[in-house]
Amino acid sequence: MTTIVLGSTSPFRKAILEKLNIPFECAKPEIDESALPNESPVALVERLAIEKAKKVAAQFPDALIIGSDQVAVHDNEILGKPHTHENAIKQLSSFSGNKVTFYTGLCLFNSKTGESSSLVDPFYVHFKTLSEQAIENYLLAEKPYKCAGSFKSEALGICLFEKLEGDDPNTLIGLPLIKLTELFAQHGVDVLALQQ
């Protein structure tokens, strides 16, 4: 059995990967996540996913390492985590009645062979028209200040949406499992064959 490593300490990504019912370890990739000059959101998340996987490889010389990174984009602007209540109000107010695109970069890196596969999976969130009171009520209830886009789609944030568009709901939370199982297969790992 190949060692599988999630190059992330995100509790959300860890919970998603646990759905596959396979053993894995977690490691924190210490990288600079700043965008390069004129770097597109798609190029940014793919590059960071690759860098995260390769950074962790030094600790695991014979493993399949998963790197992932995500950005939210609205009006051609990359949205970060709000960190404060005021910033979250601004983000959600600007999303009201609009569509926000989430790009999730995914990399699977074989630290033994140096082979890697990477991709970017888009996901689209269409927001309802939100009143100031609805935004305030939501933020006070869930306090999503460490989440890009100021919401948790896997919880009460679902009340903010008109519809979700994408291939895999896990992508929105930060780890596209459908695509990940495809990458595993490319590297000779059959997730269903590992179920005991």
Catalytic residues: 69
Q: Measured between alpha carbons, how far is 88 from 94 in angstroms, rounded to an integer?
A: 10
The per-type count for the chain, helices as H runs and strands as E runs, is: 6, 7
Q: Going by DSSP bridges, is the β-strand pair 3-6/99-110 parallel, antiparallel, or unpaired?
A: unpaired
Residues in the chain: 196
The one-letter amino acid code at 89 reads I
Is 104 within 8 Å of 121 (Cβ atoms)?
yes
